[in-house]
Every structure is written in structure tokens, then in C-alpha cells.
Homo-oligomer: A and B are copies of this chain.
């Protein structure tokens, strides 16, 4: 890849890195992508309800928060037309490049950031290099800035190539809450594909390594549990309370103790708790957010069943009640050998790729699986491509960063794959 292109990719990725937006709040990001897509030139562009089925969304923040981010994006220069279409959490887009007869090939990238405070350490390149997040408490800590950059780079490369067929770029919102894959699949653009590619960088694979078709995405279910009890003066009448704090503590300790399963990998995590009001009042309300995962959908539900029972019994033990609802889910869906083979064949020829792995366990959850499943059900094939990148901190941590050489490698692997798939 020419040095000049690589420099442009780096600049663009850093500008995204500076302005991270959380799931369903990617208003500025969507606006900037629209700018780029229009500059490259596409034949169809779907935004708002044309890109997503609003009813199928999961994990959408409340209206107040959506409005706050919407306003902030406006302040930072987002386009009015995009803001209008995306209002209320209808972010992301689908762009179609029609290059004549031939197969239809899709690429899905995800665009949202995490609610994570970015490191200020000198050893953290974005901090040292001046492109650390300008929004405290939100951070591109999972590489979606790189994904977005690679996606746009691929669109540009395909547009400039002699690819024959149709290329569809899915810029999906809200992957971090595994909430955006389902509504984008439900809108139906993915049903027209012959081949579907999804992308992730890193995941423990070093720069120069490519996984042609990863498998074993963790099946996941995220839950919110709302506890209710009764408040009382903690000094004067401790016996009059029905203590949500004790219910939550008991639930939490026991959730982590859900038995492991010989059938495969399981996970459980309580990642958020907001309970009670003041030290002298028995807590009467509390909310926790948790997730269960499994090596497949059955294992996930094994953990979920235990979790429901644990929550119910912990509440009842302390004479409280609990209401549990699913925030988000994503299934496991593996790559097809047919498409994995094409990616592998292409990748070995890309410069700076020094190791191509046919498959590897994904190790995380992904709502790209909704799109993969839909594509496969409609008769296409699908592959989840991992482009390795050296990352100093782990995904979802304050010091996560990508090796920017990955940007060019990613564009080269994916655009060459798309071209190979064309007539």
C-alpha cells in the first residue's frame, strides 16, 4: 500500500479516535461516514429506518441520553440531514456500490465506542500523540475506529478497482451492546448477498496475522435485573426494611458461582450495579446489569437459567422482588469453509501479511452473527475475518490501542477478497 494512502488512513482513524460515541449515539460518526461515502461515490445510501428496523434494536439508551449525544454531535458539526434521519438512535448506514453484473458481496464494520475512560499515560500512544478521546469516559477501546477506517478504505479501493458485481458496506451501530446486528439484519439488505464478510482487528492476533474465518463467537445474553424492596431508617427500624442491597450482594456472589459446564466454555459477569440512596436508609431499589455467555447457544442458556433462578431466590430470600429483562443477545454463528478458503488464498498474497490462519476461536461475542445467520439463511456464505494487530492493552481496557500498520493490511486483504469474489 502506498505510503500516502496509509497516511490518510491513519489521519482518519485518529480523528475518529478523538470523538468516540457510545452505542446508538454514533451521530457524529455516522455523519462523518456519510461525508466519506459520498466523496467516494456510491449508488445507494440507506440511513435511519432505511438501514435498521427500529423495533429490532436492543440496548437503546433513554431519550434524554440520546438527545444529549445528538446535541453534542450537532455542536461538533454533524450534518443536519444525517442528524434528522438518525434522531432517536437510528445511527449507522448501508452503502451500495453497483459495479455491474456479478455477485453481491457485503462487508460489515461496527462503529461505536465504549464507556471507558482512556488512559493518560505517556506510554499510551493516543495520549502521547494528542489524539486521546476528547469525551471523558468514552473511548474507542475495541478498535472500531480502525474498523470504520478499514471499511471506508475498502470501499474506496473497490470503487477504484475493476471489480464487477455489487459491493455493500454495512456500517453497523451498537455492537458493544450487541444491539445493532439484529435490526440491521431485519431490514433485509443482507438477504441479497452472495457473500458476507465481517471484520475485527486484534483479539490477540499480532500484526501481520490474518484469520481467514474465525469461529466460536461466544453466544451472549445481557440482562438487567431491577430489584425492589422497602426502605426504612437503618438505625431506628432495621427490621422494617426489605433490603435490596443484601439481595444484590447475595445474587452477585452466587452468580459468579454458577457451575462450569463440561460441554464447553461458559461466562458470567455482573458489570454494573446501582443500588440504594444513602447510608442511613435501607436500600429499596437497585439495578444490576449482567451477562451470560456460552460456547454455543445452549451453553449460554444453561448459564442464563441458573442466573434467573439465582436472581429470583436472592430477591425472595430478602423479601424483595426482582424483574429481569434481556437487554441484548447474540447467537453463535460460524464461518463457512467456502468463503474462509477464498479469504485465506487472498491473504497469503498480501504484503505485510506473514501468517494466515484458516480459523481460530473468536473468544468474544459479536452481533455480526445475526447478519451472518441471515446471509446464510438466504443462501449466501459468510466469514468473520480477523486482521491481527499488536495491541498493548487488552480490548475494553484504558490502554487498548491498535498498531496502525493494520489499517493498510486490512484494506488490502478485504478489497482483494472482494475483487476475487467478483466476476
Residue positions of A touching B, CB distance < 8 A: 114-116, 176-177, 203-204, 218, 220, 222-223, 230-241, 243, 245-246, 248-250, 252-254, 256-257, 259-263, 265-267, 269-283, 286, 289-291, 293, 302, 309-310, 313-314, 316-319, 327, 363-365, 394-398
Contact = CB atoms under 8 A, between A and B. Distances in A.
B395 A236 contact: yes
A267 B279 contact: no
Contacts of A235: 218, 220, 267, 269, 291, 293, 363-365
Contacts of A262: 236-239, 363
B271 A273 contact: no
Contacts of A259: 238-239, 241, 243, 256
Contacts of A114: 278, 281
A59 B274 CA distance: 20
Contacts of A394: 232-233, 236-237, 240
Nearest to A395: B233
Contact of A239 (B218, B261, B286): B261
Given A222-B280, A232-B396, A240-B394, A309 B313 contact: no
A239 to B, nearest CB: 4
Contacts of A309: 316-317, 319
Identify the 7 closest CB pairs spanning chains A and B, nearest first: A256-B257, A234-B269, A313-B317, A249-B252, A271-B279, A279-B291, A279-B289
23 contacts: A115-B277, A115-B278, A220-B235, A222-B279, A230-B397, A232-B397, A233-B396, A235-B269, A235-B364, A236-B394, A236-B395, A237-B262, A239-B262, A249-B249, A249-B270, A253-B257, A269-B279, A271-B277, A271-B281, A271-B283, A273-B275, A280-B396, A317-B317
